A and B are shown apart, each in its own frame.
Chain A
Amino acid sequence: MPVILQGLITIIIGVGGCVGYFYLSNLILDRFIFPAKGENIGRNINRANAVRPWLFLFPAIFVLGLYLVYPVIGSFIRSLYGRNPDTFVGFDNYALLFAGGDFTTAFLNNMLWVLFVPSASTFIGLVVAQLTDQLSWGNIAKSLIFMPMAISFVGASLIWKFVYANDADIGLINAVRAFAGFENPIDVMQIPFWNNFFLMVILVWIQTGFAMVILSAALRGIPEETIEAAILDGANPFQIFFKIKVPQILPTIMVVWTTITVLVLKVFDIVYTMTGGNFGTEILPSYMMDFMFRDDGRATAIAFVIMIVVLPVMFWNIREARKEMR
């Protein structure tokens, strides 16, 4: 059976199944289990209404529980076993990770990513949002800077290969170098330490648009009176921006910052396509993929380390969300 057909059938079964499930489960609840008639009508309606939210929620909770909650526990348990899923090794996988050099490199590089990418994206995004808001063609400019959001990390990596290529006739950087009079092209992917930043630039290029869109909306939401007052008091444009506007949108800046931070901890594509983790550019997600299919114990241990790194962000997010709901 051609896959396309299989896909179509899946859509029909998936959508039809959902509609059928929601409709039938409600029908059964209202007609048969707690019918809204007979002597207990009042009690039945109340009971039916108490059950109904869970009917609505069940498929989502099931999927989330199976694919996102269970794996947290499942991965942790698997990480206590060796390459062979039957040999219990305790925390040996973690001990191996923390003893070896590659993991340390990956971990430190990842910290570098977590520091650099969100701050650079948020900062450039904020500046662009502020600048474009005053221009007649600002929307076009925004749209173009936002565009890399649509491009896959693999596609973006290829695009940037045409910038970084070790050949003055292909790579822009080496072309500029040749123009400036340097003889030999350099491979920027092999410059120790700084090559990490060349990789990060790709992600900054992708994420700046996201930061810009959200911060631009936040900037527009600032009450004008505060700015007028500042102008009347003689503040210059820079003071208005840094002392009046930025403090007022600080919560949004934090949201953007944390969103990009979480994303950084998921992206393995860029390192995988650009350097394959060589030349000291390994990060945790790509380091995990080195072990995937080879040593599940080690792979899950690395995944769990990523989870622990994400935890503070998760708690912060939940706290903010709860604050908003109150």
Chain B
Amino acid sequence: MDNIAGQKSSLAWATHLSVLLLVLLWLIPTIGLFVSSFRDRDQISESGWWEAPFPVELTARGRTAAEATQEGDVFVVTGSIYDDPEAKSFFPDGGGEVVAFGTRGVNPTEFEAGTTVELGEGETLTVNADGTYEWRTPEDPGDRGQRIYFAAESPPSFTTENYEQVLTADNMDRAFINTLTVTIPATIIPILVAAFAAYALAWMEFPGRGILIAAVVGLLVVPLQLALVPMLNLHNRIGIGQSFMGIWFAHTAFGMPLAVYLLRNYMAGLPRDIIECARVDGATDFQLFLKIVLPLSLPALAAFSIFQFLWTWNDLLVAKVFLPSDDASKVMTVKIADDLLGSRGGDWGILATAAFVSIAVPLIVFFSMQRFLVRGLLAGSVK
């Protein structure tokens, strides 16, 4: 269809460019999250993720050494600020060029590096760009060095520290397992139930079939908010309460309309000849379903499983209502939305990492099974 007429070149370029622009626009936010999750926490707050490959100017503090040599009536302390363990801790990958320094926390970059400043009472301090300093004081410093604040360039640093912390210290490991525990039964159980119903709606003749199909289409759009209060109350009455058992039932039910609808559409499209032939050969409906229709519907089953998996993995609403809100049963979405965003609102490194941990599995599923997903989407909405 592209080559029907001779209109190409300029329009083709515009197409390439605009699609490229759109793709970039769509990707940039995700890339930002990904890059941020590997950055050092101090660096995140100092420079944007788009500057990650470049050095960052960090403000740090340290103390000079205290061993002084006496020259006449002044005591001289020399050394490198990077020998101080406190200052060093700001630069795990080694410090770079010192840009400015100061002696007061309110103005840590008061003086340019390399200048000698008067601190009063005859004291002077020099801090050079390479981190070496000279402190001259008329009194013996004793065992206490001079406080130095300074700004230095820190080389770009990428760590997996955020991941280590998220996966070990923040209960995210627990949440990850909980998510998995919710997702797998909630994906598998609806399939078989829906498949039988879909077969009946597609290939069995009985009064009321049309109404039932219409009802399924109608139920597709019932907002599940309606179900929250009555079903939670029912769960409490029959003793399930807020538990994994409850959320499995809930997800099974909420996925059912889509499952029945999708599978029925697919099964109804199977060639009539095969099914009639098998009927003539004496196959019962049960055999027909198990041996012919079910194997032929595998693509639709796969499509629904992917949908249901993504939907249950990513769900926040159902998990908030049907699972208890203690740490032992929180799933990742609830953990991120309620805990991390609340208590660690400013810790961007941890937030980015937690988010990336939670979207990694769906992304893998998505990219490896995209073919089935697209086919399922099309079976559901295009005739």
Which residues of B (335-383) have their CB < 8 Å from a CB of A? Answer: 336-337, 341, 348, 351-352, 354-355, 358-359, 362-363, 365-367, 370, 373-374, 377-378, 381-383
* B12:A134 contact, CB within 8 angstroms: yes
Residues of chain B lying within 8 A (CB to CB) of residue A30: 284
Interface residues of A in 174-199 (CB under 8 A from B): 175
The listed residue with most A CB atoms (<10 A of its CB), out of B45, B178, B193, B284, is B193
Q: Report the stretch among B15-23, B65-73, B94-102, B117-125 that lies at the interface.
A: B15-23
Tell whether A34 is near chain B: CB-to-CB under 8 Å. Answer: no
Q: Are B181 and A4 in contact (CB under 8 A)?
A: yes
Q: Are A7 and B184 closer than 8 Å at their CB atoms?
A: yes
B219 and A64 form a contact (CB under 8 A): yes
Interface secondary structure of B, over-half rule: helix
Q: Of all chain A residues, which has the CB nearest B309?
A: A150
Smallest Cβ-Cβ distance to B253: which chain A residue: A67
B214/A318 in contact, CB under 8 A: yes
> Within the complex, what minimum Cβ distance (angstroms) separates B330 from chain A?
12
Check B48–A172 contact: CB distance below 8 A. yes
Which of B104-112, B143-151, B163-171, B196-204 is near enough to bind chain A?
B196-204
When A7-B184, A52-B204, A68-B253 are in contact, do A218 and B18 touch as well, CB less than 8 Å? no
Contact of A11 among B32, B184, B209, B313 (CB under 8 A): B184
Contact present for A262 and B221 (CB under 8 Å) = yes
Binds A, one of B83-91, B128-136, B241-249, B270-278: B241-249
Known: A11-B189, A15-B189. A56 touches B19 (CB 8 A): no
Q: How far is the CA of A117 from the CA of B18 in the complex (A)?
A: 21
**A158:B224 contact, CB within 8 angstroms:** no
B192 x A131 contact (CB < 8 A): no
A128 touches B22 (CB 8 A): yes
Are B316 and A266 interface neighbours, CB within 8 A? no
Task: Decide if A272 is an interface residue (CB 8 Å cutoff).
Answer: yes
List chain A residues, Cβ under 8 A from B44. 169-170
Contact A152:B313 (CB < 8 A) given known A158-B352, A214-B382, A317-B218: yes
Do B351 and A161 touch across chains, with their CB atoms under 8 A apart? yes
B208-234 CB contacts (< 8 Å) to partner A: 209-210, 212-214, 216-231, 233
Instruction: Give CA–CA (A53, B212) in the complex, Å.
Output: 12
- Looking at the assembled complex, report how far the CB atom of B261 sits from the nearest CB atom of chain A, in whole angstroms: 9
B296 within 8 A of A: no
Do B363 and A273 touch (CB < 8 A)?
no
Contact with B along A281-297 (1 / 0, CB 8 A): 00001001100100010
Separation of A18 and B204 alpha carbons in the complex (Å): 20
Say yes or no for B27: interface residue by CB 8 A criterion. Answer: yes
Task: From A18, A159, A208, A231, name the one whose CB has the most chain B CB atoms within 10 angstroms.
Answer: A159
A144 touches B185 (CB 8 A): no
Q: Which residues of B contact A50 (CB under 8 A)?
A: 206
- Report chain B residues within 8 Å CB of A56: 196-197, 199-200, 204, 285, 289
What is the size, in residues, of chain B's interface with A at 8 Å between Cβ atoms?
A: 117
Among the listed A57, A59, A228, A300, which residue makes an inter-chain contact with B4, where contact means beta carbons less than 8 Å apart?
A: A228
Query: Is residue A200 contacting chain B, with contact meaning CB distance below 8 A?
Result: no
A interface footprint on B1-32 (CB within 8 Å = 1, 0 otherwise)? 11011010001100110111011001111101
Q: Which residues in chain A, 134-167, are within 8 Å of chain B measured between CB atoms?
A: 134-135, 138, 141, 143-155, 158-163, 165, 167
A170 closest partner in B (C-beta): B348
CB within 8 Å for A317 and B220 given contacts A158-B351, A205-B26 = yes
Contacts of B30 in A (CB 8 A): 147-148, 151, 159
Are A61 and B370 within 8 A (Cβ)? no
Q: For the complex, is A107 an interface residue (Cβ under 8 Å from B)?
A: no
Note all chain A residues with C-beta closer than 8 A to B292.
none
CB < 8 Å neighbour of A134 from B2, B29, B224, B256: B2
Report which of A6, A54, A71 forms a contact with B226, defined as CB distance below 8 A.
Answer: A71
The smallest beta-carbon distance between A250 and chain B, in angstroms, is 13
Across the interface, do A18 and B192 meet the contact criterion of CB distance under 8 Å? yes
Which of B225, B336, B348, B382 has a CB less than 8 Å from the CB of A285?
B225
- 16 A-B pairs within 8 Å (CB atoms) are namely A14-B185, A18-B189, A52-B204, A53-B200, A64-B256, A64-B260, A68-B227, A71-B226, A131-B19, A149-B373, A150-B310, A152-B316, A205-B29, A213-B377, A237-B11, A321-B213
